Each structure stands twice: as C-alpha cells, then as structure tokens.
Amino acid sequence: MCGIVAYIGREEAFPKLLSGLKRLEYRGYDSSGVALMNGDLQVVKRKGKVSELEQAVSGMNLTARMGIGHTRWATHGAPNDVNAHPHLSDGGRLALVHNGIIENYDILKKALTKEGYTFQSETDTEVLVNLIDAIQREENLPLEEAVRLALTRVVGAYAIVVMDRDDPQKVVAARKASPLVVGLGNDAFFIASDATPIVEHTNKVVYLKDEEIATISLGKGLDIKTIENEQQRPYVQELDLKIEQLEKGGYDHFMLKEIFEQPQTVQDAVRGRMHPIEGWIKLSGIEEYANRIIHAKRIIIVACGTSWHAGLIGEYLIEDLARINVEVEYASEFRYRNPILTEDDVVIAISQSGETADTLAALEIAKQRGALIYGLVNVIGSSIARLTDAGSYIHAGPEIGVASTKAFTGQVTLLTLIAINLAHKRGNISEQRYHQLITELSQIPQKIERVLESNKKVEYIAAEIKDRPNALYLGRGYNFPVALEGALKLKEISYIHAEGYPAAEMKHGPIALIDEEMPVIVIANNPSAYEKIVSNIQEVKARKGYVIAVVPEGDEVISQLADQTIEIPATDEPFSPLLSVIPLQLLSYHIALMRGCNVDQPRNLAKSVTVE
Ligand code: G6P
C-alpha cells in the first residue's frame, strides 16, 4: 500500500529511485513521483504506472545525489498528478513521501490554514509536510527535530521520508505501523518500504521500528532516535533475498511464475520441520509454547483476504485432526467487536505481508487480553512477525503478483503441519495415521507438479468461459474455502463477478441464478462427499448450467455429467485444498489474460494493505 524509496549517496539518484519504484510497484500503482535534491527540490509526478513517470522525465536533466520516490495507492484524494507524491510544503522548502493515513489531518489542516498555509492537493500527506514546515519555521529547528515534534501531534499510520531544501545533505525517515527499511551501502544509503529495491545494492539493512526516526547524512551516517527523543543503536541485519527471486525468470507474469513455484513452496514450508521417514515434526514456535497450545480451549484465526481463506481451511484441519475448537475471524471485524478472549485462547494471525493493518490491530487486542499470539507470516521481520509471541515463517519467498497464490499454499501447508503436529501431541490420531499423514504431505509437491500439467487444458476452458459476466464456485468440506478462494481470484484479476458457495447451500439462493450462461466450477475431489457433490452437479445440469469440475484422476462418473473436467491426483482429504486450488488459480490467470487485464497489478488493489 504505497511504496517508498529514497537514496542518498555519491552516484546518480534518479536511476536508483526509478528501479526501486518498479520493484515496489506491486504496493500501489495509480500514480508515482520523485523529488530530487538538485540545488532546489525538483519534483516530477504522474498519474498512472511508473512507466508514465519514466516517459515524463525523458529529456529532463535529473542530476542529483539524493532523492525520494513514491508509488501510490490512493486513500485521500483521487489518483491524479496533483495528489501524487512527493508533496512539497507551502513555499517549497520540504518534500515528503508518505505511506499510511493521517487520521486527524482535518483538524491539523484547519489549524494550518489559519496560520496561512495553502494546499494544492486533497491528501493528508500535504497536511503532514506543512505541519513539519510550520514547526520547523516557528522554532528554527533542524529537520529531524521538527519531524519528531510533528509526529507527536499525528494520529494514524505513517512511513515517511522527508528532505529539506535548506539542509541538502540529509534525509529523515520515520515509521509507525507502516514498514520502512534502511539499506547501508558503500558510502550510500537506501530507504524503502521493503528490501526489494535495496537488495541489488547492499545486503546490510536496518528495519526501523515503530515510532523511530532515522536521520541519514553522508559522512555522519545513520542516527536513530525514538519519537520520545531516546537514542537507539541500529541493529544491522543481513538480507536473505536474491535478485532472481524478484524477477520473472522467463514467465510472462509474476503470478504465473508464482503458481508454478508451488511445488517448491510446499517443500520450503515443511523443510527442516518434518521428516516422513523418521516420523517427526518440529515447529519451534509450537515447541516453545507447547503446553499452552496443546491445552488451548480455543484457537482463533485472524486474517484478511486470501489469508482468511487459508484460515478457514485451518479450521477444518485443526478441528478434524487435533479436535481443538477453532474460530476464524475477519481481522477487521474482530478488532472492533469487543471479542471475548482469555489466557486459554491461542490467536493465530495469518498474513503474507505481515503488515496488514487490521490483522496487526486484531493481534494487539489479543495480546492485551492475555491470549497467546502466533504468526504465520511470509515476510521476515515484518510487523506481525515481530509482535507475536511465537510463529512459523511460511518461507514462500517474495510474492510479487498482487493476487496471492503461493503464499496461500504455503499458509495451508503450515496449517496442515500444525494440525498434524497437534493431533499427534494430543493423542487424537494413531501412530499409523500420523505416519500416513506426514508421508502423504511429503508427496504433495510431486502431486502439484502433476496438477500443473493441466495448464493447457485449463487455458482451453478459460477460452470457453472468458466472456461470461458471472461465475459460481462450489465446494464442500475442506474444499468450500477453496471455492471462496477460486471466486476471489477470478474477481481480483479478471473483474468478473464470482461467488464461492458451499455446494449444498446452492439450493438456498444461488440456484436461482443458474441458466446456460452461468459457468459453475465445482470442486469435486473430496472422497467423503463424492456422491453428494455428484447430486449437486446434477442439480446444476438440470438447470442447464455450464459445469467445470475438478475431479480425481480417472473419475468416470462426473466426467459423464460435467461439460469440462480437470483431473488432479487423488489424495487424503485434508490435503485436497493444496491440489484443488491450483487449477482455479490457473483458470483465473488465463481468463484475465484473455480479457486483456493486468494480471500482476489488478485495478484498485494493492498487495500490502497497511490502512484500515
Ligand atoms: C490484500 C491482497 C491479498 C491478501 C490480503 C491480505 O487484499 O491483495 O492478496 O490476501 O491483502 O494480506 P496479507 O499480507 O495479510 O496476507
């Protein structure tokens, strides 16, 4: 949700800002801009993708050794050139980029207007830059001190970087609830919303903590203070990230690459945590809090979007195998409804980015009320990972496509491992069943490889239904959340209206929508409900719906009924979501492509939602 990048060093800043913005574009892409310290502050910003900015600057003299850049996901004010960042203070002394929301911007704006400040844009960001300017002028303070005092008056979330025309050797950065990383190069510093623009320059980074303010000047280096003016010692970490992970590697889109990475994702999620032959599972987070987790009265899973769908599968897994009561909550609802929590509860947050504002806030409430909080997070060092008592990283590597695919399978794999582990520790399953489950889990990567072989067939089916305005996804049991996820994927990237439904609930409403125009995608690989799913397909066919069924290899019954089938290897039911979601991801990918949509950067969405 908005990407920030900044550079201060001895080389040309602009090319570094531009390549950084391209790396961060997944965070927001409705407008972008840069400010360069060039004697004066030179600002260029454009509505649209970073490529528009690139075109706009061609022929300009952009010589500067220091600059800030931003790619935006609009919150306050429409996406246009004026609302794009960076924003200048009235008079043009300061330039600022911002990710987050200043909630009390209206009050601040009124006060600043009384002082004579005028505003060009509709953004909360312009209010913040003028607030800093006002404090700096009034008290003749250095930039970092003015930033610090301004932030004490701000309510909301922010990651900011500011430059001062009258102090041209320095940048100041600060964060609260929005991420910011400082890269330490050779006589150069980088600041960014995540490490992706930094890794090609240096692997030494400092992750800023909430309410820390970093002042960087060449010669003096990096200085960190808290908003309370306490000096902090920077904790330098080495990045575990390779540039190849950030590139498309021969695929046309990140989404396709990430779909095809899923055999590896599953393997990486269990690597070092499970041994099918020796028969052990070790999850250090679970071991550390074994007593509380094994004896938990309740597990509450909080998440948003695709991660919430993974959570729903977690509910089926943990209740079915470990027999612990599970509730799955939208983080945004949970945080505002005064939930009942006790020390006997375990709250699991699932998040790819580890930065989703609602999930983070839900966890804070759970922590305050004494529950054990556990994170299933992909991005290492992210806010959720740092807040939790314990957790397990998904280790899916960077996910760049805005529509989540491999992070989902990584999350479901870990939930599966946790459920099997708890079931074994609690004595809910026999040794034989335990071994059977971990043996099957170890075979899932090869089975996903086989599912991926259906890509051509899925592409053919996509061509058949790409122009239909609606789609219905049906699943039962473990595959009901997969139906929700399949529908979400289609909506997100192809803009076709789609709904996921429990197959048996269809007759309580959605059946009214079915006619020959309605594609109905039925996930039919649950052995326990096979006959019931066959009946549901009959019901759809009786109303002339166009049925696409995901079926176990060699199926003969459904293939007689359905218009199209996609075969996937048979598996033990708890693992079926890990296979059945793959053709649904491919289906949405191909349909979006055929409709000319931007698969990796769908309209209005952002990868990391750091606002409420
Ligand atoms: C956004 C993304 C989704 C993601 C959701 C939750 O909506 O576009 O792909 O599932 O946020 O994000 P998280 O990082 O917490 O998993």
* CA quadruple 280, 283, 287, 288: dihedral, nearest 10: 160
Q: State the Cα–Cα distance between residues 286 and 299, nearest whole angstrom.
A: 13
Assign residue 379 a region (left: φ > 0; alpha: ψ between -120 and 50; beta: otherwise): beta
Residue type, 573: E
Based on the residue annotation, tell me whether 304 is a catalytic residue of this protein. no
Assign residue 397 a region (left: φ > 0; alpha: ψ between -120 and 50; beta: otherwise): left
Q: State the Cα–Cα distance between residues 188 and 183, nearest whole angstrom.
A: 8
Ligand 1 atom with the shortest distance to the CA of 407: 16
249-449 fold = Rossmann fold (3.40.50)
Mutate to test the pocket of ligand 1, among 178, 404, 492, 612 (most ligand atoms within 8 A of CB): 404
Convert the pLDDT of each residue in 230-272 to its tens digit: 999 999 999 888 888 888 888 999 999 999 999 999 999 999 9
Scanning 165-261, the segments in alpha helix (DSSP H) are: 254-260
> In this structure, what DSSP letter does residue 319 have?
I
249-449 against 453-612: fold identical: yes
Q: Rounded to whole angstroms, what are the CA distances from 418 to 290, 365, 498, 542, 572?
A: 12, 24, 31, 42, 17
**How many helices and strands, by DSSP H and E, does the chain display?**
20, 27
Is the distance from the beta carbon of residue 307 to the nearest atom of ligand 1 less than 6 Å? yes
Is the distance from the beta carbon of residue 489 to the nearest atom of ligand 1 less than 6 Å? no
Q: Which residue's C-alpha comes closest to atom 1 of ligand 1? A: 607
Ligand 1 atom with the shortest distance to the CA of 492: 8
Given the residues 2, 16, 47, 406, select the one marked as catalytic: 2
Is the distance from the beta carbon of residue 607 to the nearest atom of ligand 1 less than 6 Å? yes
Cis bond before residue 168 (omega within 30° of 0): no
Cα radius of gyration (the chain):
25
Determine the distance separating the centroid of ligand 1 and the alpha carbon of 408, expressed in angstroms: 10
Convert the pLDDT of each residue in 318-370 to its tens digit: 999 999 999 999 999 998 899 999 999 999 999 999 999 999 999 999 999 99
DSSP run (H or E) holding 291: helix 290-294
Query: Is the CB of residue 174 less than 8 Å from the CB of residue 151?
Result: yes
Q: State the Cα–Cα distance between residues 507 and 511, nearest whole angstrom.
A: 5
Instruction: Sort strands 325-330 and 298-303 into parallel, antiparallel or unpaired.
Output: parallel
Residue spans per domain, the chain: 3-245, 249-449, 453-612
Ligand 1 atom with the shortest distance to the CA of 606: 8
Determine the distance separating the centroid of ligand 1 and the alpha carbon of 210, expressed in angstroms: 21
Q: State the Cα–Cα distance between residues 197 and 202, nearest whole angstrom.
A: 10
Is the distance from the beta carbon of residue 610 to the nearest atom of ligand 1 less than 6 Å? no
Ligand 1 atom with the shortest distance to the CA of 306: 10
pLDDT (0 to 100) of residue 606: 79
DSSP 350-363: EESSS--HHHHHHH
Q: What is the mean pLDDT of each run of 10 residues along the chain (612 residues)?
A: 94 96 90 94 95 92 95 86 95 96 94 96 95 94 97 95 96 94 95 94 95 94 97 93 86 96 97 94 93 95 97 98 97 92 96 94 94 95 91 94 96 98 96 97 98 97 97 96 98 96 88 90 90 90 93 93 96 97 98 96 82 73
Residue type, 493: I
Convert the pLDDT of each residue in 189-198 to its tens digit: 999 999 999 9
Q: Using a pLDDT cut of 70, give the percent of the chain over it.
A: 100
Q: Which residues contact 110 (CB under 8 A, 6 or more apart)?
A: none
Is the distance from the beta carbon of residue 392 to the nearest atom of ligand 1 less than 6 Å? no
> In this structure, what DSSP letter does residue 393 have?
E
3-245 fold = Glutamine Phosphoribosylpyrophosphate, subunit 1, domain 1 (3.60.20)
Is the distance from the beta carbon of residue 306 to the nearest atom of ligand 1 less than 6 Å? yes
pTM of model > 0.85: yes
Return the HEC string of 96-131: EEEEEEECCHHHHHHHHHHCCCCCCCCCHHHHHHHH
The two three-digit tokens of residue 532, written as one number: 């019931």
Is the distance from the beta carbon of residue 605 to the nearest atom of ligand 1 less than 6 Å? yes
Based on the residue annotation, tell me whether 597 is a catalytic residue of this protein. no
Is the distance from the beta carbon of residue 405 to the nearest atom of ligand 1 less than 6 Å? no
Determine the distance separating the centroid of ligand 1 and the alpha carbon of 490, expressed in angstroms: 15
What phi and psi, each to the nearest 5 degrees, are found at residue 4?
A: -120, 140
Return the HEC string of 249-266: CCCCCHHHHHHHCHHHHH
3.40.50.10490, 3.30.1360.80, 3.40.718.10, 3.40.630.30: CATH of 453-612: 3.40.50.10490
